Structure 1
Amino acid sequence: MIQMMLPQRRRPTASARRQQEVAPVAKDDPVVPADIHAPSVEDDPVVAADVHAAGVDAANDAEGFPGEPRDPSVLIEYADHVAVSVWNEEKLGRPAPEIEGLITATGLSPLIAFSVDTGDRGLISSFVERWHRETSSFHLLMAKFSITLDDVMSLLHLPIVGTFHTFEPLHVNEAVLMLVELLEVSREAARAETAYCHGPYSATHVHVVFLDALRDLSQSGSYAWGAAALVHMYDHLNDACRSSIRQLAGYITLLQCWIYEHFSSVAKCMADPDYDEVSPHACRWITMKAIVKSIFTATYRQRLDRLRIPDVRWMPYGEHRPF
């Protein structure tokens, strides 16, 4: 579960002061005749620079890395660093075909291909402020808008037709047995984990009862994941619009990409030139931190207030239908 902190006013704090330690100055050693020597290459700064550059180039050609660093004798473990994989445009992480196969069986494999890794807090906050739980919609000056099943199906390629799992209350002993069986944890650790099953959910703890829905992955592939995702998004928007709440939990990618599709004049985002119409629509958006951090919440509010009917993309998906 993803949790996004919404913007709020904070009082400025004083910068922490650091004390700088002054290194002791070494005493001058007496100069003896043996220290006096004839001029060498190092004594001429121009010649020394040329010699040093030639030596560096030779070292680079022998054992350097493309880009930086050039001296592997300093960063001796650089060859195994993630930066090398990024430079070589390699896919990060080890392939796990057995896990990918399990995810395919659940019907959630489209989610592997994309995720908006940069959440726009100002943009999300400006829309949360317009959400009303009584109507399950965003109230703008010109009209009301809601995220629909068609949005979920087109953006995420998740099925909106299927079965729903019925969750039954679990006894503590049943929860412990499920953790031991499905996650292969020790019985002591399982009993410690069940302590988090009481009270409201959080962004870091998930109720053990949800494991029961994934016990049989072949059966979970028949679930209406898209409909469940939409209800989940509605529930968190209902909570976030309350004045006492300062955060929004849930799958932020769904909400943010929905805004990109329908309100392109409000949110500035780059479209992927390599996007193909067969992939989920959420794959076509590329977020950049420079753009996200350069726009304040007040700016988004003004853009929403200036919206008119022609500014909205009412049918953004065209003929794009995954099923």
Structure 2
Amino acid sequence: MTGFGGVIRVGFISLDWHLVTALVERWRLETHTFHLPHGEATITLQDVSILFCLPVDGEPVSGLVGADVTTECERLLGVVPPAIAVKGNTLKISWLGLTFQNFLADGDDITVQRYARVYILQLMGGLLFTSKTSTHVHICFLSLLENLYVAGQYSWGSASLAWLYREMCHATHLDASEIAGPLILL
């Protein structure tokens, strides 16, 4: 219903960091392509659609960047996170996992939706829209999960590809030592 079923099926894949580094070295900011000995190559929306089964058509993904973390969590998750679980406009993924680890099979509809939002947020922070530490997820995505039926109408595939392109561009800076984003697409 939300469009994240394909991402769930991907599972854990260990990254080849030497390959990632080699690709970053060959990334060109101007064209968003890899310059390889045999020509140029890039990751496309079709790749994202096939690998993650994420929707690439639909509404643009844009959330409330200035949203208050505690207010949004209370409104959509039913709990207020402790100060230690909040960093700027992000929420600690491990706190989400610990707080929502025991789902009861007889939960009401609101509880099921809260747990679904948490699960999707963990997918976003851990795979699709990762930070350099992969420990936090931006709160702007939570408001997009308010109505889970509407969440499936967003173009999550194009948003994750744009996130990867942005992170690849940041990683090419001389002082960059880390990279984030959906690197599994590489």
TM-score (normalizing by structure 2): 0.69
Compute the displacement of 1:193 (Å): 4.4
Matched positions, count: 145
Contact residue 159 and residue 224 of structure 1 kept, 8 A:
yes
Q: Does 1:216 align with 2:147?
A: yes
Within 5 A, what are the aligned runs for 1:164-175?
164-170=60-66, 172=68, 175=69
Deviation readout 1:58-110 (Å, 9 max, x if unpaired): xxxxxxxxxxxxxxxxxxxxxxxxxxxxxxxxxxxxxxxxxxxxxxx211101
Contact residue 170 and residue 176 of structure 2 kept, 8 A:
yes
Closer/same/farther in 2, CA of residues 232 and 113 from structure 1, 3 Å limit: same
1:205 paired residue number: 136
Structure 1 gaps, min length 5? 1-104, 256-323
1:237 paired residue number: 168
Closer/same/farther in 2, CA of residues 131 and 171 from structure 1, 3 Å limit: closer
Deviation readout 1:128-152 (Å, 9 max, x if unpaired): 1100111111112331111111211
Structure 2 distance, partners of 1:135, 1:254, is: 18
Structure 1 distance, partners of 2:23, 2:59, is: 31
Structure 2 distance, partners of 1:149, 1:239, is: 20
Closer/same/farther in 2, CA of residues 157 and 177 from structure 1, 3 Å limit: same
Q: Judge which range, 201-210 or 145-154, deviates more.
A: 201-210
Q: Does 1:121 align with 2:43?
A: no
Structure 2 distance, partners of 1:226, 1:236, is: 15
Structure 2 distance, partners of 1:225, 1:169, is: 17
Contact residue 136 and residue 146 of structure 1 kept, 8 A:
yes
Higher relative contact order (CA 8 A, sep 6+): 2
Contact residue 67 and residue 140 of structure 2 kept, 8 A:
no
Closer/same/farther in 2, CA of residues 123 and 216 from structure 1, 3 Å limit: same
TM-score (normalizing by structure 1): 0.41
Structure 1 distance, partners of 2:51, 2:141, is: 25
Given the alignment, which residue of 141, 165, 185 partners 2:79? 185
Contact residue 61 and residue 156 of structure 2 kept, 8 A:
no
Compute the displacement of 1:155 (Å): 1.9
Q: Does 1:196 align with 2:127?
A: no
Q: Does 1:156 align with 2:55?
A: no
Name the larger-Rg structure. Answer: 1
Contact residue 67 and residue 139 of structure 2 kept, 8 A:
no
Structure 2 gaps, min length 5? 91-130
Identity between Structure 1 and Structure 2 (%):
32
Closer/same/farther in 2, CA of residues 128 and 194 from structure 1, 3 Å limit: same
Q: Does 1:139 align with 2:35?
A: yes
Partner secondary structure for residue 179 of structure 2: strand
Partner secondary structure for residue 128 of structure 1: helix
